[in-house]
């Protein structure tokens, strides 16, 4: 192997930012393995930080003109961990019941991971500008909002070990499968700029690490309840925006097929 093909020569500054996100994803997986509510919350907090590193490495690549194939592959591999595998395992650990129903949550978690990695693989070979399917950082952020809405609600009612609402245990597989499908569907597409869902992403993403820190600091009842409502509203707003886009896309495709 020639000298210019060694790993240090292949990596650019933005790739080290990507690897920082990968490191946080690995630590988040370790938090999931430990499995206590505190460490699961910490794991989701770390994953929310990787939303920032993902945006930063893309910005640096464009700003410094260092977009390359190595970085593209590295970014996708890192995203599959931080926005696919890690949040799926954290979600399973957070909502597992200890019974047979956990099999259903496992299936949901697998579907979420499949959706993320298949979407990333398709993106790497796609020549179409923009994005087809829900971008993995957005699906991950929606899952983070779902977790923290439940986490802070349970914390407000009874502390760190208080159970989540029953409806959440039954709905989490649906949420996981739905997000996995949204990742790969061709009925959702976004341009590179100017879409309201991106504005929503940039507006809400910074609150995840901020409120994650508050969760570690054990907030009181009122603060926990307010944060829970915030994340629940964010979760519902995201889904509303996405399904509005989905319906518009379906109607446009039907109109195109009718006109042919």
Q: Are the CB atoms for 216 and 45 separated by under 8 Å?
A: yes
Give the pTM. Answer: 0.88
Task: List the one residue out of 172, 33, 20, 168 whose CA is nearest residue 90.
Answer: 33
Confidence (pLDDT) at 66: 67
Residue 235 confidence (pLDDT): 93
Alpha carbon distance, N-terminus to C-terminus of the chain: 54
Q: Which residues of the chain have pLDDT under 70?
A: 1-5, 65-66, 130, 190-202, 215-216, 256-260
Q: What rounded mean pLDDT belongs to the chain?
A: 85
119-150 pLDDT per residue, tens: 999 888 877 776 788 889 999 999 999 999 99
Which residues does residue 190 pair with via DSSP β-bridges, in sequence order?
A: 131
At residue 215, the pLDDT reads 67
* b/e code 84-123 from CB counts within 10 Å (16+ = b): bbbbbbbbbbbbbeeeeebebbeebbebbbbbbbbbbeeb
pLDDT at residue 1, as a whole number: 42
The alpha carbon dihedral of 55, 86, 83, 162 has a sign of: negative
Q: Give me the residues paired with residue 139 across strands.
A: none
Number of neighbours of residue 130 by Cβ within 10 angstroms? 11
Return the domain boundaries, the chain: 3-259
């Amino acid at each position: 192997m020639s000298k210019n093909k060694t790993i240090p020569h292949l990596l650019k500054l933005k790739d080290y930012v990507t690897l920082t996100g990968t490191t946080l994803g690995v630590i988040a997986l370790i938090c999931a393995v430990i499995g206590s509510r505190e460490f699961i919350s910490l794991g989701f907090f770390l994953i929310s930080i990787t939303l920032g590193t993902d945006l930063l490495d893309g910005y640096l690549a464009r700003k410094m003109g260092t977009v390359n194939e190595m970085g593209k592959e590295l970014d996708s591999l890192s995203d599959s961990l931080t926005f696919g595998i890690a949040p799926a395992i954290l979600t399973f650990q957070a909502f597992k019941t200890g019974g047979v129903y956990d099999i259903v949550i496992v299936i949901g978690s697998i579907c979420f991971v499949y959706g993320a990695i298949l979407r990333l693989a398709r993106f790497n070979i796609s020549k179409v500008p923009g994005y087809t399917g829900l971008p993995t950082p957005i699906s991950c952020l929606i899952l983070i909002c779902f977790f923290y809405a439940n986490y802070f609600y349970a914390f407000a009612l009874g502390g760190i070990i208080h159970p989540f609402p029953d409806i959440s245990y039954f709905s989490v597989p649906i949420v996981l499968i739905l997000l996995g499908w949204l990742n790969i569907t061709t009925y959702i597409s976004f341009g590179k700029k100017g879409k309201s869902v991106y504005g929503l992403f940039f507006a809400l993403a910074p609150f995840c690490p901020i409120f994650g820190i508050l969760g570690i600091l054990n907030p009181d009842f009122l603060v926990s309840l307010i944060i829970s409502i915030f994340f629940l509203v964010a979760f519902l707003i995201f889904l509303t925006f996405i399904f509005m886009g989905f319906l518009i896309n379906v109607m446009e495709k039907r109109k195109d097929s009718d006109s042919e």
